[in-house]
Amino acid sequence: MSDLETFTLLPLAIDPQSKAITAPAGSSRALAAELDALNALHRSLRTLDAPHVVPPPPVPVNPKRSANLAKLRESGNLEYRKQKYAEAIKFYTLGLQMAMTRPAWEPSQLVREEVHQLYSNRAQAHMHLQNWPEAAADAEASVEAKRQGNAKAWFRRGRCLVEMGRLEEARDWVGKGLEVEGEEKELMELLKEVEAKIAQAKAAEA
C-alpha cells in the first residue's frame, strides 16, 4: 500500500491564545520540525500590519533587520580579533537566529548569503577553542548554504575532520571541495597533508 493511501491521525493540540500547534511528548523529530516551521510562518504572518492581506512580494527587504545582522556579524568579528572566541560565537549565534527567522516571503538567496558567512565565521571561532565537532558542523552548514565561492568553509571542515582523526572522510570532503572550488591553494595543501597522514597510518599498520 502506498503512503499516499494511508491516513494517520495525530493527537495535535492548539494553544487557544497563541494558536501554536504542538505535538505530544515523545513525537518524532520530523513532526516537531514541521510544526516548528508552521508555527514560525504563522508568527511571521501575524506581524503584518494587515494580517488578512496576502503577504508582500519578495522585495523590499526590511532594512532594519539587515542592519542589525550586519552589526552582529561585525561585533562577532571584533571579539574574534580580540581573541575572545566565546564572545564572538555568541554574536554569530544571535546573527544566525535573526537571519533564520526572516519572513518566509523574503528572498531565500539573501538568507543563504547571510548564514553562510555567519556559520563559517562561527566555525573558525570554534576551531580556536578546539571545538572540532561544533566547528565541523558549522562549516558544513555554511557549505550547504553556499557551495561555490566558499573555499574557507570547505577548508575549515576538512581541517576539523583531520583534527578528529577522520582522515578518509577528510580526504573525500576536501576532494569534493576542490571539484567545486577548483585548484584552491589551501585545499590542495590540505589534501596533500591528509594523503600523507593516511599513507603514514597504513605504513604503521604494515
Residues 143-186: tens digit of each pLDDT? 999 999 999 999 999 999 999 999 999 999 999 999 999 889 99
β-partners of residue 22 are 13
Is residue 3 included in any domain, yes or no? no
* C-alpha–C-alpha distance, residues 115 and 125, integer Å: 15
AA identity, residue 200: Q
Residue 147: which CATH number?
1.25.40.10
User: pTM of whole model > 0.85?
Assistant: no
AA identity, residue 21: I
| Structural domains in the chain (count) | 2
**Residue 25 and residue 71 in one domain:** no
Is residue 163 included in any domain, yes or no? yes
Element (H, E) at 13: strand 13-14
Give the domain range for residue 77.
63-205
**193 with 171: CB under 8 angstroms?**
no
Q: Residue 196 to residues 62, 115, 191: CA-CA distances in angstroms?
A: 50, 34, 9
**Residue 178 and residue 83 in one domain:** yes
Residue 49 has pLDDT above 80, yes or no: no
**pLDDT for 155:** 97
Q: How confident is the model at residue 138 (pLDDT cuts 50, 70, 90)?
A: very high
**pLDDT for 52:** 59
Whether the link from the prior residue into 16 is cis, omega within 30° of 0, is no
* C-alpha–C-alpha distance, residues 195 and 100, integer Å: 37
